[in-house]
Amino acid sequence: MIDWRAFVIVSVASLFSSALLVSLYSLGLRLLTTAGRIPLVDPLEFTGAITVLTPKKAAKQLKRARKAAAANPLTPGVKRLALCAGYACFVLCGIAVLYGIYLIVPALHR
């Protein structure tokens, strides 16, 4: 008595939820970039792990990002819209995670 349906549920649920979360977050990043707010992670201080960006590299990227932002042909209104939509994507992503956790905790359903 192997419950094959359970495997289908696991596959579909994980495929759907992962695709949704990753798409939402990626879309958020894309919109942020479109709005000229390129998310840049500063060179982090020593983490005990691998150095991620050298200061020189980070400065180079920052320059590139500023240039791209300055050359953005979008109007300020559109940019603002893109920015808002980007943040909305992140918020939706967060809500989706919380909903997923809500679904799997039986204590919350009783």
Which residues of this chain interact with another protein, rule CB under 8 A?
Answer: 1-3, 6-7, 9-11, 13-15, 17-19, 21-23, 25-27, 29-30, 32-33, 38-41, 44, 47-54, 57, 61, 64-65, 68, 97, 100-101, 103-107
CB of 77 to another protein, least distance (A): 21
CB of residue 47 vs another protein: minimum separation in angstroms? 6
Q: How far is the CB of 109 from another protein (least distance, A)?
A: 11
Shortest distance (Å) from residue 75 CB to another protein:
19
Nearer to another protein among residue 26 and residue 74 (C-beta)? 26
What is the distance between the alpha carbons of residues 27 and 89, in angstroms, rounded to a whole number? 7
Q: Is 76 or 100 the residue whose CB approaches another protein more closely?
A: 100
* In the chain, beta strands by DSSP E: none
Q: Which stretch of DSSP H or E encloses residue 13? A: helix 4-34
- In this complex, which beta carbon is closest to another protein, that of residue 29 or of residue 81? 29
